Structure 1
């Protein structure tokens, strides 16, 4: 069994914010595979289903972001899911907007949700699907940036980003981490000038917005 976790903060105040993109990806994945996120256990909203031929438990912790391990740690223990079968979807400041990358293990990179997971899971060798949100271009501080909502131009690209992140998760479950990394990590950011679908997805508007 795989445990697929989306990181975010609970409550309407945080919906559609950059920091909650992990929630959004896992919700989209659940819808794509007909998984009902209706169970409430381990301080999380849960659903089970088959994804890429693998029995999978999808989870959205309802703790604050920096306490995600209080939910995921006991959950992984109860279902006897080893750390390397835990997959965490999270926002990443160090990746440009439109970028999705797969990573097997590693540090927390200053992400408080990952930091708590490393501590509560007892190690860092879980899989990550990193969804780039970029860094603020102006005077906005990082905390305000991650808790802000997407711009209109960014919002127009989210569907394509959700699809790529879901495909990355499916590739990990189907083919393993290394193969998923090879298939995903070299792709150009969605909406960038090098993206073949730039004009069709609204990337031109994003380029102008960032000028």
Structure 2
């Protein structure tokens, strides 16, 4: 069993904000697999399908970003899974809009959702896909920026990468994270 987690905040108020790009991408991948993410369990919305012999669950934690680890930890504990069985998809302000970065492990890098997951799993050893949302403008508060909407041009750039994130996710689920990093990690900031 594998778990693909998109990080974000629940509710229409946050639907298309920068911080919710993880939710948006997981919804895209699920739609491409003809899966509905609507089962409410483990403080999350869940949907699942079979990829070969592997059961894959999509998760959108409903705990709000800063408590995402609660939902992830409960799911893994109940299903007797480890951190190596997950892929986390989330926003990164240190990358330009649309830039992708795949990592096998690492610190939270200031991202509170990842920080929560690390705290609850007691490890930073889990695959992740970071999607650049752009650096916050100088006079903006960080919270206001990550909770702001993308411009149309930014959304076009991001959506043009959704298929790449789907392909990366599939490679990671197949145990080919090195191939994914070699092919999709971009050189630009």
TM-score, with length taken from structure 1: 0.84
> Is 1:27 matched up with 2:27?
yes
Match of 2:170 in 1: 170
Match of 2:128 in 1: 128
> Is 1:182 matched up with 2:182?
yes
CA distance in 2, matches of 1:106, 1:140: 27
Q: Name stretches of at least 5 consecutive residues in structure 1 with no aligned partner.
A: 190-211
Assess, with a 3 A threshold, how the Cα gap between structure 1 residues 106 and 52 changes in structure 2: closer, same or farther: farther
CA distance in 2, matches of 1:96, 1:156: 14
Q: Deviations over 1:112-136 (max 9, x none)?
A: 0000000001111011110011112
Q: Where do 4+ consecutive residues of structure 1 move more than 6 Å?
A: none
CA distance in 2, matches of 1:124, 1:173: 18
Please give the root-mean-square deviation of Cα atoms over the aligned residues, in Å.
1.6
> Is 1:91 matched up with 2:91?
yes
Structure 2 matches for 1:147-166, cutoff 5 A? 147-166=147-166
Q: Deviations over 1:116-171 (max 9, x none)?
A: 00000111101111001111234222211110000121122232121221121112
Question: Are the aligned partners of 1:65 and 1:113 in contact in 2 as well (CA < 8 Å)?
Answer: yes
CA distance in 2, matches of 1:22, 1:149: 14
Question: Are the aligned partners of 1:53 and 1:174 in contact in 2 as well (CA < 8 Å)?
Answer: no
Match of 1:100 in 2: 100
CA distance in 2, matches of 1:144, 1:52: 42
Tell which structure's C-alpha radius of gyration is larger: 1
Question: Are the aligned partners of 1:3 and 1:81 in contact in 2 as well (CA < 8 Å)?
Answer: no
- Cα deviation for residue 54 of structure 1 reads 3.5
Assess, with a 3 A threshold, how the Cα gap between structure 1 residues 22 and 73 changes in structure 2: closer, same or farther: same
Assess, with a 3 A threshold, how the Cα gap between structure 1 residues 157 and 51 changes in structure 2: closer, same or farther: farther
CA distance in 1, matches of 2:159, 2:168: 14
Q: Name stretches of at least 5 consecutive residues in structure 2 with no aligned partner.
A: none
